[in-house]
Amino acid sequence: MLSSDKVLTPAAEALTAQAPVTRSPTARVLIVDDEPAACKLLALLLSETDFECKTALSGAEALRLLEKDNRDAIVCDLNMPGMTGMELLAEVRRRSPQVAFLVATGLDDVRAGILAMKSGADDYLVKPLHADLVIASLHRALQKKRLEQEVEGYRLHLEEMVAERTKQMEAALKLVERSYEDTLEALGAAIDLRDAATEGHSRRVCRFALEMAKAMGLSEAQHKTIAMGAYPHDIGKLALPDGILLKPGPLTAEERVFMQQHAQTGYDLVKQIPFLADAAELIRTHHERYDGSGYLRGLKAEQIPIGARIFEVADTLDAITSDRPYRRALPFEDAFRVIQTESGRLYDPQVSTAFFSLPKETWPTIARMQHQVTSLPSWLRSGGAGSLGSS
Ligand SMILES: [Fe+2]
| pLDDT at 372 (0 to 100) | 53
Judge whether 157 lies within some domain: no
C-alpha 114 to ligand 1 mean position (Å):
80
| pLDDT at 369 (0 to 100) | 79
Q: Do 269 and 362 share a structural domain?
A: yes
Q: Distance between CA atoms of 176 and 2, rounded to whole angstroms? A: 69
DSSP per position, 112-172:
HHHHHHHTT-SEEEEESPPHHHHHHHHHHHHHHHHHHHHHHHHHHHHHHHHHHHHHHHHHH
Measure Cα distances from 61 to 54, 101, 104, 253, 313 in Å.
11, 16, 18, 100, 79
Strand (E) or helix (H) holding 52: strand 51-56
CB-based neighbours (< 5 A) of ligand 1, an ion: 234
Q: Give the range of the structural domain holding residue 230, as residue numbers without chain letter.
A: 195-381
C-alpha 160 to ligand 1 mean position (Å):
50
Q: Do 105 and 43 share a structural domain?
A: yes
Domain final position from 87, 121, 150: 150
Backbone angles phi, psi at 222, to 5 degrees: -65, -40
| pLDDT at 214 (0 to 100) | 95
| pLDDT at 17 (0 to 100) | 46
Judge whether 178 lies within some domain: no
Q: Do 221 and 135 share a structural domain?
A: no
C-alpha 270 to ligand 1 mean position (Å):
14
Domain count, the chain: 2
| pLDDT at 200 (0 to 100) | 77
Domain final position from 113, 135, 150: 150
pLDDT tens-place values along the chain, 391 residues long = 444 443 334 444 444 444 454 555 589 999 999 999 989 999 999 988 879 999 999 999 999 999 999 999 999 999 899 999 999 999 999 998 899 999 998 767 778 888 899 999 999 898 888 888 999 999 999 999 999 889 988 998 998 989 998 899 888 888 887 887 777 777 776 776 776 556 678 888 889 999 999 999 999 999 989 988 988 888 888 888 888 888 878 889 999 999 999 999 999 988 888 778 888 999 999 999 999 999 989 999 999 999 999 999 999 999 999 887 677 889 999 999 999 999 999 999 999 999 999 999 999 999 887 655 444 444 444 443 333 332 2
Judge whether 170 lies within some domain: no
C-alpha 278 to ligand 1 mean position (Å):
18
Strand (E) or helix (H) holding 377: none
Q: Distance between CA atoms of 202 and 192, rounded to whole angstroms? A: 8
Give the CATH number for residue 333. Answer: 1.10.3210.10
Give the CATH number for residue 62. Answer: 3.40.50.2300
End-to-end CA distance of the chain: 77
C-alpha 330 to ligand 1 mean position (Å):
20
Burial of 242 (0-12, 13-18, 19+ CB in 10 A): exposed
Judge whether 1 lies within some domain: no
